Amino acid sequence: MRKDPSTRTTPKVRSISHRFSYTLIGVITLLLIVFAAVVIFVDINKIENELETRLDNAIEFAQNSLATPLWNLDNVVVRDFVEALFLDESIVYTKISWKHQIITEKKRIGFQLPDMEPAMPMTFLKESEFIAKSSEIYFRVNKVATILIVMSRENVRKKALFQIYGVTALSILIIVAIWLTSIFITKKYISSPLTNLQQSASSIANGDLDTIVDKSSSDEIGRLAEHLDIMRGSIKQLIAKLKESKEKLEEYSRTLEQKVEIRTRELARSVEELKALGDVSQTVNSTLDLETVLTGIVRHAVQLSKADAGTIYEFDETEQVFIPRINFGVSDEYIQAMRDSKQRVGDKTVLGQSAKKRMPEQISDLMKVPNYPIPYIKQTDFRALLAVPLLRKDRHIGGLVVRRKAAGKFSKPIVDLLETFAAQSVIAIHNARLFHEIEDKGRELVIANRHKSEFLANMSHELRTPMNAILGYTELIIDNIYGDVPEKIKSILERVEKNGRHLLGLINDVLDFSKIEAGRFMLSLNEYSMQDVIQSVFASVEPLAAEKNLDLKVMVSRELMTGKGDEQRIAQVLLNLLGNAIKFTEDGEVIVEATISNETFWVSVSDTGPGLSEADQKKIFEEFHQADGSSTREKGGTGLGLSISKRIVEMHGGRIWVDSTLEKGSTFRFTLPVRVERQVEQK
């Protein structure tokens, strides 16, 4: 129950004048304390410095006055000097000594000399009640004595206490005066007007809107009173309006809770649906395991539709029947009954009708359908059925069916949601089918590629044998083994031999490539000389360079050592690179260089030919690739030479690459380990 405003107790209000006085006194007290501390600290340091100065003067005076008496051993003068020093009340102890012998010593009554290490030089002892200093006394350059003077800080302390007492008394006097003045001023000009204003505000707060507000003050408090009076009038008007709209607000409040509750349930369901769709989409995109994807879909479909069971069917196009693929919430007997029912497109089942109409179909109460084709469903207490077809373009992929034991129609949002799940199911089934098709095609391609490689290897071998025979007989005829050959026929035969050897080279490239593809390309590892290999290849290509008037240079390091590898295949790589350099270079030179570094042969072939573009440099070592341009088409070739060279180099554990710029020539480089103990397997 609400309390009557008139019965409320007014909280105790602390006086503003008191708070203002306390604050002002506190601030001034703090400032006075800081000021007093600074003054006392400065005065004490000043007195301390004066004391130290007097001690320094006494020491200096002794050094100047006692040197001659001490040298003359005039102890009377020395004692008189000490007596004169004690006229200063601060000096409490004086000692003049020579080594360990005391010449004279005097101290005031009650003074006890503290223990001091002899080896330590005397300094000002600022942390004790005494201050001391010692010094050597010299007559000319001769040390005649040591003087020690100790002074008391008693006077310093007395002066400090006097100042503290004086400052404290003055501060208290100032604080009391300020407190009395502030209490009088604040009470008269601030506290009393504010108290009256507070009483008026309390009356207004307790509901007395007719109370009189004192507006006699002409300062800020008076203006505040005027505004309070204006506010009192506004509150009266506002209360009238509030009473008018109170009933409307109460009515709206009664219906608002219902609306919020309904909207909250809708939002919760939407969030749950979005989360389920997100999980399904993530599963579809992250795995090709059809069982996992479909299981997640049917589980979410059953849960979000408030159903009791669900099944995803896959359509068998051969037998034209729906086969249960994934089930949730049903027994094995039920699954077997679904298989035996052999549901088809267009039959009287909910799945058959949805497939025929290509749209969702539902039965709100199965008991009202007398001749349902699958009687077993009624025996399991399922009352409501909803089926959504799985379609891709014009093809039936399957169907999604959810079942509920409570009768009633599935709402449109549930139907729309299951259509979304059906679309995800179609994507999952289609992806799985595509994946299996790709796997089958991949296996077929592997088999076909292996057969192709074996065929090329066999055919290349069969072609090379008769070609070698043709070349052999051609050479015998040219050499007049079978009799003299006319010059016209001999020139023809020489061209036949040249083209035959070119054809044999192409056949050898195809044979090598097919062996590599079939995995039957093996290296024969033996000792070899890289220098001999380069010289042998140089000798074989030198005539080709001479025909084109090219300058062919060889620069081989003298440090090349004997290596281990397949000498014939290494020569094949170098021959291929040199042959290409000579073939594509019309003017200039071709240079072969070979060095050794870190147990590795470094070989390069440079030319002044047309060069390669960046795109061709990336593809030049691929099978059957030739650089674009008219020069390539004129020169011909299979496009296998560099690919085979790359495989040979990599099987030795090395690498091959090209550096080239258009119109500025090319440099092919390859490296080989000096000692190759076993062949590197190619992937």
How high is the pLDDT of residue 3?
A: 46
| H or E element in which residue 672 lies | strand 666-673
- Which of helix, strand or coil describes residue 500? helix
Tokens encoding 416: 């729309």
Give the other-Cβ count within 10 Å of 10's Cβ: 10
Strand 562-565 to strand 526-529: parallel, antiparallel, or no bridges (unpaired)? Answer: antiparallel
Query: Which amino acid does the sequence have at 188?
Result: K
Give the other-Cβ count within 10 Å of 491's Cβ: 12
Strand 309-316 to strand 395-404: parallel, antiparallel, or no bridges (unpaired)? Answer: antiparallel
351, 343 in Cβ contact below 8 A?
A: yes
| H or E element in which residue 388 lies | strand 384-392
131, 71 in Cβ contact below 8 A?
A: no
Minimal CA–CA distance to 214: which of 203, 229, 204, 202? 229
Q: Tell me the C-alpha distance between 356 and 42, whole Å.
A: 108
Tokens encoding 528: 């070899």
Q: Tell me the C-alpha distance between 111 and 107, whole Å.
A: 7
Tokens encoding 564: 């281990």
366, 386 in Cβ contact below 8 A?
A: no
The CA-based diameter of the chain, rounded to the nearest angstrom, is 155
Strand 361-363 to strand 600-607: parallel, antiparallel, or no bridges (unpaired)? Answer: unpaired
Burial class (CB in 10 A: 0-12, 13-18, 19+), 485: middle
The residue ranges of the chain whose pLDDT is under 70 are 1-21, 113-128, 156, 188-189, 209, 214-216, 218, 256-257, 260-289, 448-465, 467-469, 471, 473, 497-521, 623-639, 682-683
Model pLDDT for residues 224-279, shown as the tens digit of each residue = 777 777 777 777 778 777 777 777 777 777 776 677 666 666 656 665 555 655 56
CA distances from 575 to 242, 256, 316, 317, 545 (A): 105, 92, 61, 60, 13
Query: Which amino acid does the sequence have at 363?
Result: I
Q: What are the φ and ψ backbone dihedral angles of 593, each rounded to 5 degrees?
A: -125, 145
Model pLDDT for residues 82-140, shown as the tens digit of each residue = 888 888 878 888 988 888 888 888 888 877 766 554 444 444 444 567 888 888 888 88
**306's torsion region: left (phi>0), alpha (psi -120 to 50) or beta?**
left
b/e code 420-437 from CB counts within 10 Å (16+ = b): bbbebbbbbbebbeeeee
Q: What are the φ and ψ backbone dihedral angles of 110, each rounded to 5 degrees?
A: 90, -5
How high is the pLDDT of residue 674?
A: 93
How high is the pLDDT of residue 196?
A: 74
pTM of the predicted structure, to 2 decimals = 0.36
Q: Tell me the C-alpha distance between 671 and 655, whole Å.
A: 6
Interacting residues of 388 by C-beta distance below 8 A, sequence separation 6+: 354, 360, 399, 400, 401, 415, 418, 419, 421, 422
Burial class (CB in 10 A: 0-12, 13-18, 19+), 142: exposed
- Which of helix, strand or coil describes residue 153? coil
Burial class (CB in 10 A: 0-12, 13-18, 19+), 446: exposed
Q: Tell me the C-alpha distance between 535 and 171, whole Å.
A: 112
Query: Which amino acid does the sequence have at 148?
Result: L
